Structure 1
Amino acid sequence: MRHILLTALGALLLAQSPELKAQHSNETLLVRQPTLSKTHIAFTYGGDLWIANRDGSQPRRLTVAPGTESGPLFSPDGQTIAFTGTYDGNADIYTISINGGEPKRVTWHPSADVVRSWSPDGKHLLFTSTANSTTPRYPKLFTVSLNGELPQELPIIMSGNWASYSPDGQTIAYTTITDAFNTWKRYRGGMTTPIRLVNTKTMDSELIPHVNASDVQPVWIGSKVYFLSDRNRIMNVFEFDRSTKQVKQITHYTDYDVKTLTGNGSELVFEYAGRLHTLEPASGKATPVPISISPEILALRPTWKNVSNMIRNASLSPSGVRVAIEARGDIYTVPAKKGDWRNLTHSDGTHDRDPIWSPKGDKIAYVSDASGEYQLHLVDQKGEKEPEVISLGEPSFYRLTEFSPDGKKILYQDKKLNLWYMDLSAKKPVKVATDTYGPSTNLEGHFSPDGKWIVYSEKQVNYLNTVFLHEIATGKATAITDGKSDAGNAVFSRDGKYVFFTASTNTGTTVSGLDMSAYDRRVTSNMYVVVLNAKDPSPFAPESDEEKVSDSEKGNDEKKADEKKSDKKDDSKKDKKSDAAKKDEPKKDEPTPKVVVDLEGIGQRILALPIPAAALGTLAVADGGKLFYVNYGDAVTAPSLNRFDLKERKSEPFLPGVAGYTLSADGKKLLYFSGSSNVGIVDVGGKVNPGDGKVDASGLQALVDPRHEWKQMIDEFWRIERDYFYVPNMHGADWKGVKEKYAKFLPYVAHRSDLNYLIGEMMGEMVVGHNYVSGGDFPEVKPIQIGLLGADYETDNGYYRFKKVYNGENWNPNLKAPLTQPGVTVKAGEYLIAVNGRPLRATDNVYSFFENLVGKQVVLKVNSKPSESGARTVTVVPIANETGLRQMDWVEGNRRKVDAATGGKVAYVYLPNTGSDGYTFFNRYYYSQLDKDAVIIDERFNGGGFVADYIIDMLNRPLLSYWNGREGKSFTSPAASIYGPKVMIVNEYAGSGGDALPNFFRRRNLGTIIGKRTWGGLVGISGYPSLIDGGSVTSPSFGIYSPDGKWEVENIGVAPDIEVEMTPKDTQNGKDPQLEKAIETVLDQLKKNPVKRLEAPAPDNRARD
C-alpha cells in the first residue's frame, strides 16, 4: 500500500509540472547555464563545462580541472567558448575551443572577473569586475581582447551582473545594480534590477519599462531585447521592442523560475526545471533539449577522507585516558597516548553530534539525526553494540551538556531556549528552565556532586542573567543572585559546599549584541563564591601564623597531645605501606558528597574571590580545589586559561591562548582546545606549556559517500530553516511542499556547488533576505594570489604607464600604498618598463606579471619616458587587495568636494558599513569636523553589520549650554556634536544595518534623505549548526517591526525624501548627482536655519547687586 501511495504522489507532482516528466529514462537534470551556437549547445554540469549537439546528443566534457566553470558563452562564429573559471582560487575569464584542449586565460586581476558577452565581431569580451570599484559591493563593466591585454573600463559608474552587446556593437544592455534574489525570490526591495540600454559613444540611455521587480540577463536579437523578469512572481522570458517601447511576456511558467537566458543572434536558450530549452522568439515556442550524462563521475565515488581538521566537540573519559570526538558527523574515541582511534558510529549519511562521556566510563551519549530528527543515543565506549535511542522531545536541535555524577541523568538544551534533563531510567525529559530572549541562549546548567541540584543562569526581562538553584526533587528554582548584576558561569565545587560564578555591573549598553553602542565598552566581571550551608565557614576565613611552643616550655598535657600525634604519624606510615601493598586491588568508589543548601539568607553568604576584574568566564572546578576559568582578554590581550588555588588563595596563568576546555569526571585531567582542531590532555596540577599533552588525531578518517551526505545535508538544511526562522509560518511558504518540490533534483546533484544551488533555490521560496548558503567540501584548489600596486594603468607608445597612483595612508597597516612608500615615490605619468627583470609591453597583461608575488619584494624598472634608457629601479611589496586604497581616495575626494562647495561649512562623513569599519569611520570623520555647521552622512554601499544606534544618538545631540572661561573660546555641552542641518545619502546597495540607519535617522527626524531606495534586508542572523561537511547555511532568526507594531523595511527598503538617479551621462568625469544634490540641499537648509555661535554675555556684577 505504501508503494501505491508514493507512486500516486509522484504522478500528481508530474501532472502539475509536465516539464519534469523525463523524456528519456536516463535523462539528466540540473544541467545549467546553457549557451547556443548554430550547431552545438554548451552548458555546465557537476562543476564542469560540457558541449553537445543541438539536439542534446553526444554530450562530452570539455574541462576537468579541480576548480569550477560557469557562464559559458559561444563566440559569434561558434568555434570558441568563453567562460569564467576558478582554477587558481580566483574567478577569471578563459576561452576554450569547442574541440577541447587547454583553456586559455584572458584575465588575471584578483577580483572576480565574470564574462557577460562577446563583441559582435568576436574580438573582445565584455565582462564585469570589481577591479576598479571603491567597494566590493558593486562591479563595473570592462572589455578585454582575446589576447588578454590590459582590460578597458567602460565609462559607466557601476553595473550589475548582466550585460550584452547589440548586434551593431553600439549599444549595451545592462543591469544597473547586482542581483539581490539569488536566494530571495519575489524580491521587492530597492535592488530590484532595471535594465538600461546605453550608447557607448554618446552615453545616452533608456530604461526598459520597469516595475518593482527584478529584470535580468538581457539578450539582443535584432532590435529587440529579451530578458528574464519576475514581475509576475515567477521568472519568465520577456521581450522589449525598442521601436514600440512595449514589453511582452513570452513564456508563462508558474512553478519553477526560468534561469540563464542566452542567445545566438536568432534563437534563445534557457534553463527551466533543471532542463535546457531552446526558444524560437517569433512564435514563443520552447523546445526541451534532453541531456543524458553517465553518472560515473569522480566526485560521486565514496572515498576515505581525513577528518582531523573537522573536530567540533570533544569530551574526556572519566580518567582522561581517551577523548570522545565529533568529526564529520561521526563519533570517535582517540587515546591520550597509546592505542588507536576508533569510530563508534560509522554513520554514513547521518549527523552525530555533541559526545559526552558517562562518569563510569561505560557509555558515551550523543545526539543523532539517524531517525530524521535529532534524538539521544547512548553507545558503549567501544561501539560494539547498537546504541540505545531515547527521544529528547519535540523535533528540534539539541546540545548535550553533561551527565549527572551518578550517570542517571543528562542535562541538555534545545533550540527553543529550554534547559532540560533526561531521566535515563524513565526515559522522560524534565524541563528545568526557559530563557527570556532569543534567538540563542546561554542557558547552560551543571549538576551538583550529589546530583540533586542544578545550578544555571537565566536572562531576566532586564537583560541581565541571574543565577538559580533548581532542586530536582521538588522542581523548585530559587534565585541566589539579586538581579542587579549580570551573573553567570555558575558551577558547584567538587565537595558540594560552594557555587562559584561571575558577575558584572558594567554591562550597560552591551546587553544587546546587536547595538553599535556596545562597541568599545569593555565589560569586566568579578568572581564570586556562595557558601551553600549556613553552618560552613567562609573559604576565605581569616588566617593567622602563630609561633609553636618548644618542648621544654610545654606542660604535661601538651606533651601527651604531641605523643598522640606522633602515634598517628606512625600509623599513617603503616597505612601508606599498606596502601602500597593494596595497589593492585580494585579501587572503591569515593563517597558522594552530601550537598546541603540553606536558601534562607544565601545572599549574605556570597563572597568575592581575590581575582582581578576582567572578562572572565567558563568556570570549572578540578580535583584539589583548583578553580579553572578563562580570561577572554580584550582588543590587545589574547584569551588565556587560568587556575585559582582555593587553598593558596591565589591565581596564576595555566595555558595562554586557550579559551576552550573541559575536565574529566574525576577532575584530575583537563582537555584543552587550541586552534581550529587541536586538542591536548594535561594534568590539572603542576606547570603546563602550550602544546603539552597533544592528542594525535591526525589519522582520523571517514568513508564519505557524497550522495548520502548530500541527502542528509538537504534534510538538515530544511530542518534548520524550519526551526530557526524567526516566524513559524515560514512567510506563508508550504515548507514541506518546498522540500518535495526540490528533493526530486537531488539524484542529479553531481558536485558540491550543485547542492548549494539546490539549497539556495529552496531558500528563495521563503522570500526573505540574509538567507545564505556557503562552503562545503569542494575539490581543493591551490590559490595563487596576484599582487597589486595600488594604481590605474594605461598603455602608451607600446608600454604601460601609471595613469593614477593611490596614496592610501602609509601609517595605517591596512592602507599601505606600495608605490608611495618612502624611497619609492612612483608618480602618475611614469612608465612601468619591467617587473623583476621581465620586460613589460602593452601587448602583455600587467597583472600576469605579479602572479604569486603578494607580500614579496619585487623590483620594478620605471621611467619618465617610454624607454629602457634612463630607467631607474625601485623595490616594492605588492598587496593582495587595493579596494581600501580606492575607497579612501573616493572618500577623501568627496570630503574635499563638500568642503570646497560649502566654503568649509559642511562636514562629510562616509560609513562603509555599520560594523567596526563604520564605527571607526564615524569616529574619525565626524569628531574631526566638529567645527562645521552641518553634516552630510554618506551611507551609500553600506554593507550593514549592527544597528548603528550609537551613530543615531551622536547625531541627535542638541545644544544644551555654553561654557565660558577667562581665556580661550567658549565651549558647549555636549561638545562632541554638529548642531546644524543633517543630510543622509543612500542608495540601492545600502542594506541590513544600512537599512536600519536611514530608517532610524528618519524616525528621529534628523534630516533629509537623498538618493535611491535601500536594499530592504532588515532581518537578522545569529549562530546555526554547521552542515556535516563544514558547509554553512543561515536562517533569519529575528525580524524588525516598528514602534507602532507593524513589520517594516524587510523586502521594502527605505525610500529617500529626494530621489536622484545615477545615469551614465550624468556621471561622466567624476560627477556625482546624489552628492551634488546633498550639497545643494544642506546649503539651502543652512541658509534658512543658520547655526549661531553665541559669545559669552557681559560679566555679571553679582557682588554689587
Structure 2
Amino acid sequence: NSHFVTENPVSGDYIFSESGESFRSNNRKRYKGENNPDIKSWDPLSGKFTMLTEWEGKDLWPTVENGGNIWFASDEGTGEYNLFGFSDGKKEQLTHFSSSIGRPQVNASGNRIVFTLDYQIYTYDCTSGKSEPLKVDIFSSRPYDREVSFSTDDKISAFDVSPDNKKIAFVSRGRLFVSDVKGEFVREMNTDPTERVLEVLWTSDNKTMLITRTNGGWPNLYRITSDGKGPEQPVKVGESKARMVSLNKNRDKAVYYFGRSELRMTDMKTWDDRLLVNDEFWFRGSQPGFSPDDRYVYYTSYRHFETDIKLLELKTSRVINITNTFLSEGDPFWSPDNRYIWFTADRTAASYPRGGGETRLYRIPLQKFSKPFKSDKVDELLGGAVSKPTPAGAIDTTDLLRRWESPLTVGPGQSNPYVIDMDTVTYVLFNSRHEGKQAVYKLSTRPFGASRVEEIKGLRSASFVSAGKDYYAISGGKIYKVNIKGNKADAIDIKYDFTRSLTAEFNQMFYEGWTVLAENYYDENMHGTDWKLMKEKYEKFLPYVRSRSELSTVMNDMLGELNSSHMGFRSTGDEQKLRMNMVTAATGIIFDKANPYRVDRIITYSPADNIEAMVKMGDIMVKVNGIKTDNSHNRESYFLFPKMPEEIELVFDRGGKEVLVKLHPVPASAINGMLYDEWIASNQERVDQLSGN
C-alpha cells in the first residue's frame, strides 16, 4: 500500500508513506491510531527501511528537492495539515494555518513550495518562511448557474392519485407536478426552486396536497393547493426530518416520523399537529399507517438494533408490541377487513450486525377467528339463518407469537405487502425474489379454495396507491395503472420538460447532506466537532462550486472533519456531459427602445399577433413565467431557456391592472423570417402607393 513515492536525488532513497489514512482517507481529520501514516524511506541498495517520522497522527504527502531536503504535511500541533520539514534531522512546523493545506510540491531548486489551502493555490517561500496565495486570472464561465433542461420521463420518484381518480401528483428531480390521470396535461407547482420535494399525498378535498420538502436541508411537512395560486404553507417545520407520511382511509389525518424519535399526527381538518409517541425510529424503519377504523396507528421502532411492529391506540395512547421477538419485522400493512396485520420477517437471523437474511411474508390475525363455514353459504343461498362472524377491530394480545401465519409456499425474498379486498377475494401484492429475479407478485386468497401466487407483468419492484376502484404503482421511475385481475401493469407515459438550476441543486444537496449527519450520526457529540461551525466553514465555498466533482470534494472534506471511517459522498449525473446551450423564446413583441419593458408593437403573424393574446401597445411587462422582472436586468435574459418551452406566461401592467397573457413562443430565427415578411409587405405597399396599384 505504498504511495506518494518520490526519489531522493541525493541519497537515492525512496520516500513514501503507506496507510489508507493517507491514500484513500486523507480528508479525514485528526485521526490517531495504529493505521496512522508516517514518512518512511527505503534504500534500494541495502534494502534498509527508515522511519523518518513517528507522530501518532498523520504525516503524509512527502516532496523532495534536488538538494535532498524533504517537506511534507502533518496534523501535529493544530489538528490541521500544515507544512513541515526537517531541521537537523528533527521534524519542524513551517506554517500555522487554521485550515488544512493539501498536496505540497517543492520546485527543483528547493526555494518554493506550492500547495492548496481552502481550494486556492498558495506558495511558500523557503527563504523568508512566508506563504501567500498565487494570483491566477482565468476566464471561467458558470454554465451551471443557468437553467438546465430535464424530462420527467422515467424519472418519477414519488406520486399519488387524487381521491376522485382524475389527477396525478408526482415528483421528479425534487420538483412537484400535477397532471390528468392519463399524464397528457402537466403543470409544475410553485414550490421553492432552491429546495427539494420528496413525498406527495392528496387530501380528501381533491385540491390540497401534503408534501415533504426540504427547508434549509431539513425535510419538513407542507401543504400546497393544486390550482397553483399560492406557495407552500408550513404544517410542521423544524430541525428534524419529516418522512414516510401516510394518510388514513378518509384522507383527513396523516401520520409520519419526525426526526429520530417522534411519531406525529396531523389533523387535516384543522391542521393541528401533535406528538403521538417517542420511540427509537432512527433514520430507517417502515411506513407507518392507520387501522381501517382509525382506532390505531401502526409503526416500527428499534429495540436492541432490531425492529418491532407496534400499535398505538389513539384514544388511550396505549402501545402494543405485537412482534417482540428480538429479530426484525417490518413492512406492516393492516388489512382492509380489519382482521389481519401483514408484514415481512426473517424468523431465524438477526439483522444486526450483518443485515439479516431473507424475509418472508407473514400475517397475524388480530383475534382467534374461525374459518368460514360452507354451510353458511348454503344457508345464505336457501334463505336460512347465517352465523354472524366475529366483529373485527378489537385486538386479542394473548399468544400473538403463536398466531403467526405464513400463507405462502414459495421461497423467501418478500417485501412491501399491499392488501386489497375485491369482491370475495383478498389480493396481496408484494415484491419478491423467490423465482431468482426481482418482480411483483399477487397472492390470491379466497374463503373457499386454494391460494394462488402469480406475477404482475410489467413491474420489477413497486409500491402502490388506490383511487376509487383503480390501483396504481410506481416502478423504475414510471407510474403504472395496475390491472389486478389481469395480472398486468400498463405504463402511464408522462413526458414533460422542465428546468432546474444546477447551482441551486448543488447547494440544496450540501445542506441536506449536512442535516443527514446532524440528525443521524451515531455520536451526539459529533466526535467533539462543532458540526454547525463546519457547515458555516464549508458553505462559504458553495458560490465557487462548478461541478458535481467539486461538490463531492467540498462534501468529503466536511465529512472528514468528523474523523470517522467508512464515510464518503459521491454524486453523478449525465447533465455534466451536456453542453449548456441556451435558446431564446421569441414572442413577436417589439419593446420600446427607450423603455425596454414597454410594448411598442407586435410583429405580424407572430405568436403575440392573435385575438386571444390581446397584447397592447403601452403594456409594461412585469412578470415572465411567474418571475418578477427587474428593469435593471437585460430583458432578454428572461427569455433564455435550455430548451424551447411549449408555452410562456407573461404578465403586463396595463393602467395599474395586471393582465396575464399566454403565448406559444418560437425560435428567434423564426422571428427574423417574420420581420423579413413585414419588410417585403411594407415595400409592396410602398410600390402600390407610388404606382397607383
Normalising by the residue count of structure 2, what TM-score does the alignment of the two structures yield? 0.72
SS of match in other structure, 2:456: strand
- Specify the alignment match of 2:340 in structure 1: 499
Distance 1:431 1:386 in 2: 26
1:377 shift after superposition: 1.4
- Specify the alignment match of 2:596 in structure 1: none
- Specify the alignment match of 1:619 in structure 2: 417
Deviations along 1:626-672, one digit per CA (max 9) or x if unpaired, are: 33232523594544321324456523314166332212143531314
- Give the 3 Å change call, closer, same or farther, for CA 348–482 of structure 1 in structure 2: closer
Distance 2:446 2:210 in 1: 32
- Specify the alignment match of 2:679 in structure 1: none
- Describe how 1:413-812 pairs up with structure 2 within 5 A: 413-436=257-280, 439-458=282-301, 463=306, 465-468=308-311, 470-479=312-321, 488-494=330-336, 496-502=337-343, 507-508=347-348, 510-515=349-354, 518=356, 522-531=358-367, 538=370, 540-542=372-374, 597-599=393-395, 608=405, 610-612=407-409, 614-615=411-412, 616-624=414-422, 625-630=425-430, 632-634=432-434, 636=436, 638-647=438-447, 650-655=451-456, 658-673=460-475, 675=476, 677-684=477-484, 686-689=485-488, 692-697=489-494, 699-777=495-573, 780=576
1:256 shift after superposition: 0.5
Distance 1:475 1:599 in 2: 15
Distance 2:62 2:404 in 1: 71
Unaligned runs of at least 5 residues, structure 1: 1-157, 550-557, 563-593, 783-1105
**Is 1:228 matched up with 2:46?**
no
Contact persistence 1:671–1:682 (CA under 8 A): yes
Q: Which residue identity is paired with 2:515?
A: R
1:350 shift after superposition: 0.5
Deviations along 1:841-864, one digit per CA (max 9) or x if unpaired, are: xxxxxxxxxxxxxxxxxxxxxxxx
SS of match in other structure, 1:693: strand
- Specify the alignment match of 1:1026 in structure 2: none
Contact persistence 1:526–1:612 (CA under 8 A): no
Distance 1:227 1:635 in 2: 57
Q: Which residue identity is paired with 1:777?
A: G
Once the two structures are aligned, what percentage of the paired residues are identical?
18
Aligned length: 561
**Is 1:238 matched up with 2:36?**
no
Deviations along 1:686-738, one digit per CA (max 9) or x if unpaired, are: 2133xx411213x3433222222222222222211211111222122222222
- Give the 3 Å change call, closer, same or farther, for CA 522–219 of structure 1 in structure 2: closer
- Specify the alignment match of 1:350 in structure 2: 195
Distance 2:154 2:183 in 1: 21
Contact persistence 1:268–1:281 (CA under 8 A): yes
Distance 1:548 1:347 in 2: 59
- Specify the alignment match of 1:566 in structure 2: none
Contact persistence 1:529–1:609 (CA under 8 A): no
- Specify the alignment match of 1:1034 in structure 2: none
- Describe how 1:746-895 pairs up with structure 2 within 5 A: 746-777=542-573, 780=576
Deviations along 1:248-272, one digit per CA (max 9) or x if unpaired, are: 221122x101112112212211222
- Specify the alignment match of 2:658 in structure 1: none
Contact persistence 2:168–2:183 (CA under 8 A): no
Deviations along 1:90-115, one digit per CA (max 9) or x if unpaired, are: xxxxxxxxxxxxxxxxxxxxxxxxxx
1:780 shift after superposition: 4.6
- Specify the alignment match of 1:218 in structure 2: 62
- Give the 3 Å change call, closer, same or farther, for CA 191–606 of structure 1 in structure 2: closer
- Give the 3 Å change call, closer, same or farther, for CA 522–719 of structure 1 in structure 2: closer
- Specify the alignment match of 2:616 in structure 1: none
Contact persistence 1:481–1:603 (CA under 8 A): no
SS of match in other structure, 2:557: helix
- Specify the alignment match of 2:131 in structure 1: 286
Quick check: 201-210 or 271-280, which moved more? Answer: 201-210
Contact persistence 1:467–1:487 (CA under 8 A): no
SS of match in other structure, 1:737: helix
**Is 1:177 matched up with 2:16?**
no
Distance 1:169 1:201 in 2: 10
Q: Which residue identity is paired with 2:340?
A: V
Deviations along 1:121-173, one digit per CA (max 9) or x if unpaired, are: xxxxxxxxxxxxxxxxxxxxxxxxxxxxxxxxxxxxx412x122334693432
SS of match in other structure, 2:427: strand
Deviations along 1:333-353, one digit per CA (max 9) or x if unpaired, are: 344435223222453211111
Distance 2:292 2:334 in 1: 7
SS of match in other structure, 1:271: strand
- Describe how 1:979-990 pairs up with structure 2 within 5 A: none
Aligned match of 1:390 in 221, 226, 235? Answer: 235
- Give the 3 Å change call, closer, same or farther, for CA 480–644 of structure 1 in structure 2: same
1:416 shift after superposition: 0.8
- Give the 3 Å change call, closer, same or farther, for CA 778–737 of structure 1 in structure 2: farther
Q: Which residue identity is paired with 1:250?
A: L
- Specify the alignment match of 1:272 in structure 2: 117
1:538 shift after superposition: 4.3
Aligned match of 1:369 in 195, 204, 214? Answer: 214
Q: Which residue identity is paired with 1:270?
A: F
- Specify the alignment match of 1:1066 in structure 2: none
Distance 1:275 1:750 in 2: 15
SS of match in other structure, 1:763: helix
Contact persistence 1:417–1:441 (CA under 8 A): no
- Give the 3 Å change call, closer, same or farther, for CA 215–310 of structure 1 in structure 2: farther
Distance 1:256 1:491 in 2: 51
SS of match in other structure, 1:515: coil
Deviations along 1:274-314, one digit per CA (max 9) or x if unpaired, are: 33222222332223222344452334332222354543222
Contact persistence 1:195–1:218 (CA under 8 A): yes
Distance 2:358 2:501 in 1: 47
Q: Which has the higher contact order (CA 8 A, sep 6+)?
A: 1
Contact persistence 2:220–2:240 (CA under 8 A): no
Distance 1:336 1:636 in 2: 34
Contact persistence 2:480–2:491 (CA under 8 A): yes
Q: Which residue identity is paired with 2:452?
A: S
Distance 1:440 1:680 in 2: 29
By percentage of residues, which structure has more strand?
2
- Give the 3 Å change call, closer, same or farther, for CA 407–439 of structure 1 in structure 2: closer
- Specify the alignment match of 1:27 in structure 2: none
1:458 shift after superposition: 4.6
Distance 1:480 1:771 in 2: 36
Normalising by the residue count of structure 1, what TM-score does the alignment of the two structures yield? 0.47
SS of match in other structure, 2:491: coil
Quick check: 411-420 or 223-232, which moved more? Answer: 411-420
Q: Which residue identity is paired with 1:260?
A: R
SS of match in other structure, 1:664: strand
Deviations along 1:1056-1080, one digit per CA (max 9) or x if unpaired, are: xxxxxxxxxxxxxxxxxxxxxxxxx
1:360 shift after superposition: 4.3
- Give the 3 Å change call, closer, same or farther, for CA 539–326 of structure 1 in structure 2: farther
- Give the 3 Å change call, closer, same or farther, for CA 645–379 of structure 1 in structure 2: farther
Deviations along 1:176-226, one digit per CA (max 9) or x if unpaired, are: 234154331011133322222334455444332221122222221212011
Unaligned runs of at least 5 residues, structure 2: 385-389, 579-693
